[in-house]
């Protein structure tokens, strides 16, 4: 079983997390590190993916700045999304080998991690035709968006535990106008952020058949 370093950064700015992803991805390409799972929480942030449109940001840049919300245009696939406190964001830095190189299957696995996590809280999660992410009936609880270089992944998925859902009203989330975004707490589950992080770790290990090895972010930063 391949090792998977788990690096929990805690709250971290989007730009810093992106730089760490890029560093880890480059090191993984060179086989200087094993696969890595970064688990983070971001301050309020809007990101625009490769197929995204600024038209899907519904308020002005000045208004968002006043609200303390940053905007980044980034390399992942997908449209516009929101990250913020109360949302667990996972960035797998994985070297895809052999049958894992099917990128559609990789996205499917990221969704499966969230769906199985929802199941552990007695929620029937699933997929919605034509849309990515994890859904409970007609509301979206988790989003996915990735980038791959030399078959090493970055970016990943985000599961809403108890974020400020009204911030999603500032955008057209993932370019989807007809369906709303929800969270575990909004769906009636009494959960803590830490509990959900631990469950996501377990599901990552199960879905990707990896052995979890916890690594202190502070130690890695010092290297």
Q: Which sequence positions are flagged as catalytic?
A: 174
Residue burial 195-205, b: 16+ Cβ < 10 Å; e: rest: ebbebbbebbb
Q: Residue 177, class by beta-carbon neighbours within 10 Å (0-12 exposed, 13-18 middle, 19+ buried)?
A: exposed
Compute the half-sphere exposure of residue 191: CA atoms within 13 Å on the CB side of its CA: 28
**What is the bridge-based pairing of β-strands 152-160 and 45-48?**
unpaired
């Amino acid at each position: 079983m391949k090792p998977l370093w788990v690096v929990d950064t805690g709250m971290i700015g989007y730009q810093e997390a992106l730089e760490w992803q890029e560093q880890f991805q480059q090191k993984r390409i060179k086989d200087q590190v094993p696969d890595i799972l970064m688990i983070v929480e971001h301050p309020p942030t809007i990101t625009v993916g490769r197929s995204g449109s600024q038209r899907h940001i519904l308020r002005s840049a000045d208004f968002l700045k006043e609200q303390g919300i940053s905007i980044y245009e980034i390399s992942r696939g997908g449209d516009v999304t929101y990250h913020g406190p109360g949302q667990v964001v996972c960035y797998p830095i994985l070297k895809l080998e052999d049958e894992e190189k099917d990128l559609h299957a990789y996205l499917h696995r990221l969704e499966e991690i969230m769906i199985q996590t929802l199941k552990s809280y007695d929620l029937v999660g699933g997929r919605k035709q034509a849309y990515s992410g994890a859904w409970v009936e007609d509301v979206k609880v988790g989003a996915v968006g990735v980038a791959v270089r030399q078959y090493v992944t970055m970016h990943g998925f985000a599961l809403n535990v108890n974020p400020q859902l009204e911030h999603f009203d500032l955008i057209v989330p993932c370019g989807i106008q007809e369906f709303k975004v929800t969270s575990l707490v909004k769906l009636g589950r009494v959960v803590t952020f830490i509990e959900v992080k631990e469950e996501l770790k377990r599901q990552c290990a199960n879905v990707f058949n990896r052995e979890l090895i916890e690594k202190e972010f502070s130690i890695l930063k010092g290297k």
